[in-house]
Structure 1
């Protein structure tokens, strides 16, 4: 049902002869948006019009559906007495498209009340190359910003697209707190502004009131200065105004950068004599186009800023979970490490992705100066991978304090990983109910710098590089175990890790790394390298840097493979000492008289090492306590097993089946009792370690001694006086150890 035409509105219309002669569409509507008049040019321009549209909504004149919301905004503003200007997309009756530049004003009654609205329209896209280039520019801006996630990259792409095609000068200023900071200053050709004139990148900018940029931010709308010469344009400084006059700035557009209702900054473009153009002036259509571009740029900047904020949060989170920037000082080892998060993807429609991952590494002090080394990788990216990594690092540190073999530590860690999610991840990638268990590759090493023994176990991680005498190869191993969190179907769910042992020669170097080091994303126009090719490049780089220090090797390894980092990269370079560390070791019978002998050996050794008398006496006292505990409780060495044979016992030749006499061993003879222990003394740069090893599997514990008890206080003294102490199982018994800090 159409609304009845108001006759008193007709009285407000100008003579029809004037409207009919105009080469501009004129559409008059009542307060409800219904058409009460269209001039003949309306049908020429839009393809719709005439008496049959009277009473219909003006949207029926071919306004594209995507512009209906804009049309509602037009009506709201004009009916409140404002003037509206903008561009519409109209679909003609024949299906062709025309862009119309519309101006809408209120239709007022002599009393002043708004009775309707009048819309004037002309074709916005004329058939010339300049206008076609303008719309092509908007399309290219959208395409180039679609996959941009880094702020600086986003700003660079905007400037590259606008200069020099649409502008000779491009400036982008963004708020940092309450201050505007210049982030882009791009100019056509090779021209650059002299120092001290226009603000440079990183400078703060203050626009005076009335400046076109200040107006754009205040009005939150694009501002056009179509003719700078005739316009009394204000400038931030006299020097900047003089430079504008010298280069011949002719026309300027400034547009606010608005995203999600927040003002991020301002973007301004200028034409000048730097380049020769047929028309060195902007017009109203350029202003509207600039407004549309600014909206897209602002959204891309906002997304990039959100990405950087999320990325920085994740990086800070991961940095707190990883070791510090520098490795701790360790006896017999030089260590350098490096961690680099992945660079943002230049994705297309993939959304914002935080490239922090689950790579981790660690150095764990163990008993008697030994060191645990670990490098690993949690599959996936983002905060979840970093959180899993943090839990793994803490769990491994806790498990490592048991001083069990690396294979046992990985098995225990695998069991712990599988408790992080109820479903089980199988080797073929299947997961019940679509849930996932974290998959983790990790290698755990234990190194004894005094014996140079390295023991390790691998859970699906790539083997480290071993550098010996300038030659590079892999640390040989019998194979990789399954990744943590994987349970292979058909094997009963059992996961086993093989332990390997090597003796590292003096001055040998290990290069531990995660797969992000060799799996790089090619740069634009760059060659793609297969995994084998990347590994060969890594070998060559490490070989060239092998004579340098560990930091040089780490840097060479990181730079070995060209391309952007597509996944986190962790590198740990470990070099063994070229000289032998101080160690003294002797085996004693486990007899009470040997306590004084062990103490004498310790005193002589400590004196040779130059320990202070106070430190030496304390260490000797604790040696006596630990050795006494071993002598009292050490178990016998198990006697060799002997077969108990009854020759002919099962014969059935004689009565009862026992014709041959029994040949029994002499059960009255006993093997000699062999009780012994080993005292091992180690000196480091800042500490001395004492180890007492015996054949007893039972680990000692501190017990509370009563007032009348003669013993039970030895380990209590060790606990109170030593810097650290503990015990660990060995392959044939246990080791009790303590640490004394050296004071200079």
Structure 2
């Protein structure tokens, strides 16, 4: 029945304002709350009802099933016959919601609208049809914010008839915080005459918020502009389009970020859970031999695939018994095999005969029933006409089964991943060749030297751009010094790697002649310009091949003076760490990238305490899509400042956060801790420019070697000292200085003079009186050479003590 009761009132002919009768009843059927509206309706005061069984208010026996609603029900509605205090019978439409009281006790809140105003006739049939048949939710509330009309979409969305809702406030129809907010905004619409919006989703009891409906609230005005009602409008299924578009947009930035097949498959699985499914598995066919294409369709019969990725909610208990990396075999008539053969996706319910048949044939499919999966989607993965595998989506926590829109969304997600996986498989041979070339050109072992403790890392990019041309090198120099270089060639692929190899060789060659950092970069810049001219400089590819735009940092550390000279060509600023853990950037002028020209390179020189750390790196360490540069710098500074047992630990701390995803660019990292050669390892003497001083120089050297316990090296050292000092006196200019450096198994003899002329080897003719001394030094020494300074030069000779 839909007849509303007539409550007690003094004058039945006077208009009656609407009100709501409300009562609360606990799970045991005892009345725990009684409103003033309930008193007006039935005549009982609260003291007469609260604490008593609610069945005492009934006019008829409604049976035990109605007295105790089924467990799990969140809402009940219907017509109930009640007994007025004066004895007459009232038939009421009631709506009851299960809720938790403030004391934490479950109870029912029962509401009934009394003397609700009817909505005025809606006028022309077209307007009537528009209201009743609109696919959007429409409801009209009067100036008391009570519902007076609701269309079929509203009734369907809330599973309540208009008669059951008429006269109630929205929070009484759908008890929820959002309903209270909508109620507040409806009052604003009445007061201001302006449209209001509810950003959060309105949803009925028992429906998850993500499946609710955003609402707009429009004031309805009469011909005089007075607000007479409020219209609530809501779209019935926003997630059918907006939420799916958001998921696809988000997945487009997350799927296919690398050329790693397994990572791309995992990105697909992660995109599907939990926003679309509760379980996702990606199974791929075997990768064919290099140069072969996969078959356009899988062979008939059982299909063998490999579980490449999987994601579940929760992750700690994946549904499938097949782990990532294991083989999975689908029987010939199983849904995955049929979808692969047909090339079309499909939706299944667990009650379908196909699922039951599959579970009987394949023990590994038992997870479908064991974990309560009620809905399943199977989507074949295809790209460019090639079948790559199949993706399974399952639901057991989502209440709703998959719908056709969900299947379309799963297809789009799978297609996005399929293209990336296909391209990655095509790219793998070239990538393998490039990485092989890159690693062959990088140093395989650190050279023997005592000036620096070294640790390094190279992390290639995982993107489809290909491996770049980042490199690093450690170069032993004369006088126990060490050169450090880090560079970044523009471009990616084999050509960039080949260019890197050419530039690394050039740097080693220029470093071998002991050029200071700024001069070395100047010569390297000229080399890049020459390479560009040789390539023809006809376009971007030629510039990339020549290395134009390459950045480079070159540093030279001297363990005797503990000074470090640096220059950079457009490269990121190096960082330094003091022995007490303070991290700071070194002040090194930037300079232009190589091959651009126009500006000179400047060198800066700093003194580093023993135990200081230098960090040289390429820009791939700082630049990335998932973080800004400041965040990367903070992470690097934190890793550098934290105490670590080894430099390898420091490298790992810096790079480990990047291993969760493939970097957007190659990363070269070089970490060095400074050592020092102390006074007991270095001896220096100032010499007069007089031939008679040569004998004294030999004696100085002999005495020092004896003090160092290197008596076996005296003969060769005397000959070397005699020749170098004599040449400095004869051909050089004062002041003249002799220095001996004892470094592990190496003895270095150096003679400095202020002349810029360099000696060179020549073959002495039969009757020549000179020209044999320097040749003798070259024969007796391991290495020898000339090192120029701003004023003057140093002639040095190095002999190995291990062979003595």
Contact 1:465–1:473 (Cα < 8 Å) also in 2: yes
Supply the distance in 1 between the matched residues of 2:575 and 2:516 (Cα, whole angstroms).
22
Matches within 5 A, 1:595-614: 595-611=694-710, 614=712
Q: Could you tell me the TM-score, scaled by structure 2's length?
A: 0.56
Mean CA deviation greater in 212-221 or 385-394:
212-221
The corresponding residue for 1:262 is 386
Distance in 1, Cα, partners of 2:450 & 2:765: 41
Distance 1:353 1:700, change over 3 A: same
Aligned partner of residue 709 in structure 2, secondary structure: coil
2:357 alignment partner, SS class: coil
Structure 1 residue 199: Cα displacement = 0.6
What residue ranges of structure 2 are gaps of 5+ in the alignment? Answer: 1-234, 289-303
Q: 1:277 to 1:393 in 2, by over 3 A?
A: same
Contact 2:716 2:780 in 1 (8 A): no
Cα-Cα RMSD: 4.8
Q: Which residue of the partner structure matches residue 511 of structure 1?
A: 615
Cα distance in 2 between the residues matched to 1:295 and 1:696: 73
C-alpha separation between the residues in 1 aligned to 2:314 and 2:450?
59
Identify the range of structure 1 (219-228 vs 315-324) with the bigger mean alpha-carbon deviation: 219-228
Match of 1:572 in 2: 670
Measure the CA separation in 1 of the matches of 2:802 and 2:746.
8
Equivalence for 1:331: 450
The structural deviation recorded for 1:392 is: 2.4
User: 1:173 and 2:268 equivalent?
Assistant: no
Cα distance, 1:560–1:678 mapped onto 2, change above 3 Å: farther
Aligned residue number for residue 586 of structure 1: 685
- Give the superposition deviation at 1:367: 1.7
Q: Deviations over 1:490-532 (max 9, x none)?
A: xxxxx43333333333333333344444445445xxxx56x5x
Cα–Cα, structure 1 residues 386 and 717, in superposed 2: closer, same or farther, change >3 Å? same
Which residue of 618, 621, 628 maps to 2:716? 621
Tell me by how many angstroms 1:377 deviates. 3.8
| Distance in 2 of aligned mates of 1:260 and 1:335 | 48
Q: What are the superposed Cα offsets for residues 219-246 of structure 1, whole Å, 9 maximum, x if unpaired?
A: 6555787765467735698642544453
Aligned: 1:693 with 2:752: yes
**Is the 1:538–1:560 Cα contact (8 Å) retained in structure 2?**
no
Structure-2 separation of matches of 1:221 and 1:573: 54
2:441 is matched with which residue: 297, 318, 321? 321
Instruction: Report whether the alignment pairs 1:201 with 2:324.
Output: yes
CA contact (8 A) 2:620 2:667 kept: yes
The aligned runs of 1:209-608 (5 Å cut-off) are 209-217=332-340, 228-229=352-353, 233=357, 239-247=363-371, 254-269=378-393, 276-277=399-400, 295-306=415-426, 313-324=433-444, 327-341=446-460, 344=463, 352-354=464-466, 356-379=467-490, 385-422=496-533, 438-468=548-578, 470=580, 471-476=582-587, 479-488=589-598, 495-523=599-627, 542=640, 544-545=641-642, 550-551=647-648, 553-554=650-651, 567-577=665-675, 580=678, 582-589=681-688, 594-608=693-707
Query: How far apart, CA to CA, are the structure 1 residues paired with 2:722 and 2:561?
Result: 22
Q: CA offset at residue 534 of structure 1?
A: 6.5
Separation in 2, partners of 1:441, 1:276: 57
| Local SS of the residue matching 1:298 | helix
Q: Report the equivalent of 1:62.
A: none
* Larger relative contact order (CA 8 Å, sep ≥ 6): 1
Equivalent of 2:309, from 181, 184, 187? 184
Secondary structure at 1:172 match in 2: strand
Task: State how far apart, in whole Å, the 2-side matches of 1:288 and 1:438 are.
Answer: 47
Q: Is the contact made by 2:487 and 2:552 (CA closer than 8 Å) also made in structure 1?
A: yes
Work out which of the residue numbers 602, 616, 631 in structure 1 matches 2:726.
Answer: 631
- The alpha carbon displacement at 1:176 in A equals 4.1
Q: Deviations over 1:422-457 (max 9, x none)?
A: 499xxxxxx999978722443322222123233333
SS at match of 2:610: coil
Unaligned runs of 5+ in 1: 1-127, 345-351, 425-430, 489-494, 639-673
Change (3 A) 1:221 1:536: closer
Aligned residues: 544
How big is the shift at 1:139?
Answer: 9.6
| CA shift in 2, pair 1:636/1:563, >3 Å | same
Q: CA 1:385/1:289 → structure 2, altered by over 3 Å: closer, same or farther?
A: closer
1:572 alignment partner, SS class: strand
Q: Is the 8 A contact 2:451 2:557 kept in 1?
A: no
